[in-house]
Amino acid sequence: MSRIRWISFGSVITAMVALGGCTLVGAFRADEAFNLTFDDDGITSLSIVWTNGRVTVAVDENATEITAAGTKFVNAETQEAADGDLDVITVELSASESVASRAVLRFEAPRAGVRVYGADVEVTLPAGLTLNVESANGDIRVRDNQGDTTIDLANGQVTISNTQGDLTINLANGNVAVTGLEGDAAVEVANGRINLESTGGDVVANAVNGDVDVRARPAANGTLEAGVTTGSVSIQVPSDFAATLELESGLVGSVDATLGGFTVTALETRRTRVVATLNGGGGSISASTVVGSVEFASLD
């Protein structure tokens, strides 16, 4: 099983209750809209550096510039404090200082104390850009991206749909849902569920605590790997996929392999382990858990 890469962030968003009374700290909110554009001439990638708030990214094949529209907000102990702190939040969309072909969308605010700073943003990309998103808190949604996508998130849900490039996700706490992926996938989650549908690329999906569900149509000689420490694993592939199969659970668990529709040779079965060659072999399928069950079946 691949090792989880832990993410370190400089800002941690906290919720606190005032000790001197019943007023909830952060009960007063102020917000302000923003709308940014950046000409994509010569730009091949976008990096989004965020701290707190939702990030939604979509692709418009007719677009000739990157746009970022949304709302920045402050939750504070009084309305006056919330209104006064809006100006300390900065949202910028500009060229990278280190990579000429990269644009950067960046959120900056003071370290959170008794106040909460954030921004929700919707980004529209021209087709074909590579996307990198790094955030501490908030859901991330990406759809229709044609380039590679990389996401590093501490807390939140990640939803990916209809992407053509390769996908890399590192998530500490939250769930991952992927549909319509055409490229390779490498997904690592510490605490949460992975639900992934793929149509062509290799898949590596690992979690420490949480279930992993993979439904894939890999290319010939493709690779599927799913592993969990505590949780269950389910894998489904077409019945004509040729691969070696290795499924294993710990002593607290079981393996259930439904092999109807496959041409099966070299079959070895035990309660906690199944090994076989499917349709003559070629690709590779492996799934394991320490505490939990492993299930395998055909998509057909």
Residue 126 lies in a domain: yes
Angle at 155 between CA 152 and CA 157, to 5 degrees: 85
Structural domain of 97: 24-136
Average pLDDT for the chain: 91
Q: For residue 10, what pLDDT is reported?
A: 38
DSSP lists the bridge partners of residue 18 as none
Residue 257 lies in a domain: no
7, pLDDT greater than 60: no
**Pairing mode of beta strands 264-270, 233-237:** unpaired
| Percent over 70 (pLDDT), the chain | 91
pLDDT in tens, 69-100: 999 999 999 999 999 999 999 999 999 989 98
pLDDT in tens, 173-215: 999 999 999 999 999 999 999 999 999 899 999 999 999 999 9
Residue 96 lies in a domain: yes
13, pLDDT greater than 90: no
Report the C-alpha dihedral over residues 82, 87, 91, 92, rounded to 10 degrees.
180
pLDDT in tens, 24-76: 556 899 999 999 999 878 999 999 999 999 999 999 999 999 999 999 999 99
Q: What is the pTM of this model?
A: 0.90
Residue 58 lies in a domain: yes
Q: For residue 284, what pLDDT band results from cuts at 50, 70 and 90? A: very high
In the numeric block, the tokens 């690592």 are attached to 188
Q: Is the dihedral of CA 214, 133, 156, 145 positive or negative?
A: negative
Residue 88 lies in a domain: yes
Residue 73 lies in a domain: yes
Domain count of the chain? 1
Angle at 211 between CA 205 and CA 216, to 5 degrees: 45
First to last CA, the chain: 28
Q: Which residues contact 123 (CB under 8 A, 6 or more apart)?
A: 46, 48, 55, 56, 57, 58, 66, 67, 68, 105
Residue 298 lies in a domain: no
